[in-house]
Amino acid sequence: MYIGVWIVAICVMRQRIFRVLGYEVNSRMCGNRPAEFAYPRIVGGTVSSKGDWPWQVLILQDGQLLCGGVLVEEQYIVTAAHCLSDPQEAIQLFTFHLGAHKSDASDSSAVQVKIQSVECHPDYDDHSLAFDVCLLKLRDPITFTNYIQPVCFPETGTSVGVGQTLTVTGWGETLGTGPNDFLNEARVPVVDITLCKRWYREERISIPASHFCAGYREGGIDSCYGDSGGPLVMKESSEQSHSSACVLRGITSFGMECAEEERPGVYMSISYVLPWIYETAPELVAINPTSSTNEEHSASGIYDPTRTNQVTTSAANALPNSLSSLIACGFWCLRVKS
């Protein structure tokens, strides 16, 4: 009897310890990186470590890179609508992989999943790329592993400030700055939307209200061809994981060439379409949105100069970074980055 009591006590203590560390035994968590034993190691390059970004989805066509995607729940993926010009055909012709680090999904950790249905935003415009987002439902729920985990959604109604740094990942073109056969990562700051619109007007391109810009005025660091549909995340405090967690702020949408001066990447804002996502998949409401422990340090992925509860640039919020210099990871040219 006493042995049984001690076993129960040990199990309860173990569960509490895991919760403090940001894990929850036998329960759905989001935005955590179980395979991560140290901060991202991108010194002198942009290749990520295996398991650093476990919500990254790899979409292949005939075995070749097409786009990225994001796992948001055990049975749902989001990606860019322009990646799936014919959603029903995409289910038959494309392959979808979770847990991959190599661009050909040859990792032992990679799992190919089947898609049951695809819902793209009803207001998606394939010319302007407004509302460039689709929600994919898996045929069967995925089993989470150290290399397969969902990302968190942002808290509804919050926004991120100019200069806030986020991380974009993908297997896209690197323009010779590094290999793209492994998952790459790069950190990019949010750009003032008015300034970004002015830059893109020079190309006669309009930035939709559903999008925001992130990158560097001088260029050099960006997403590129093949990164479309992949995640743009920020690490922040979350009551869901009892610690800091990665929150999905945007998905890679388009740009002009890659890493060019005054042509930052343009991302679909997830917070902008959260109402549609929750309406399309009501079961996601129960596990979202993220509740920030500090309202001043929550973000939605789109800058609104009229709001007061925006995130400002903060070392406490930014993903840890030991680099003195950052190298571009690949995005795409107009570039719909696929």
Q: Which contiguous run of DSSP H or E holds residue 251?
A: strand 243-255
Question: Per residue in 23-56, pLDDT tens?
Answer: 332 235 788 766 543 322 222 237 899 999 999 9
Question: Per residue in 74-85, pLDDT tens?
Answer: 999 999 999 998
Helices (H), 41-160: 87-93
Residue given tokens 């986020």 in the structure block: 166
Q: Is 198 helix (H, G, I), strand (E, B) or coil?
A: helix
Nearest to 194 by CA among 183, 181, 207, 205: 207
For the question of residue 101 being annotated catalytic, the response is no
For the question of residue 211 being annotated catalytic, the response is no
Q: Is 56 helix (H, G, I), strand (E, B) or coil?
A: strand
Q: Is the pLDDT of residue 239 over 70?
A: no
Least confident of 144-148, 162-166, 259-263, 294-298: 294-298
For the question of residue 82 being annotated catalytic, the response is yes
Average pLDDT over residues 193-207: 97
Average pLDDT over residues 295-301: 32
- Annotated catalytic residue, options 109, 228, 271, 338: 228
Q: Are 118 and 91 in contact (CB under 8 A)?
A: yes
Mean pLDDT of the chain: 77
Average pLDDT over residues 155-161: 79
- Annotated catalytic residue, options 48, 49, 82, 109: 82
Q: Are 30 and 245 in contact (CB under 8 A)?
A: yes
pTM above 0.75, yes or no: yes
**pLDDT band with cut points at 50, 70 and 90 for residue 238:** low
Average pLDDT over residues 51-75: 97
**pLDDT band with cut points at 50, 70 and 90 for residue 194:** very high
- Annotated catalytic residue, options 97, 101, 109, 132: 132
* 17 token code pair: 């310890």
CA-based torsion, 31, 147, 315, 207: positive or negative: negative
Strand stretches in 198-242, DSSP E: 211-214, 231-238
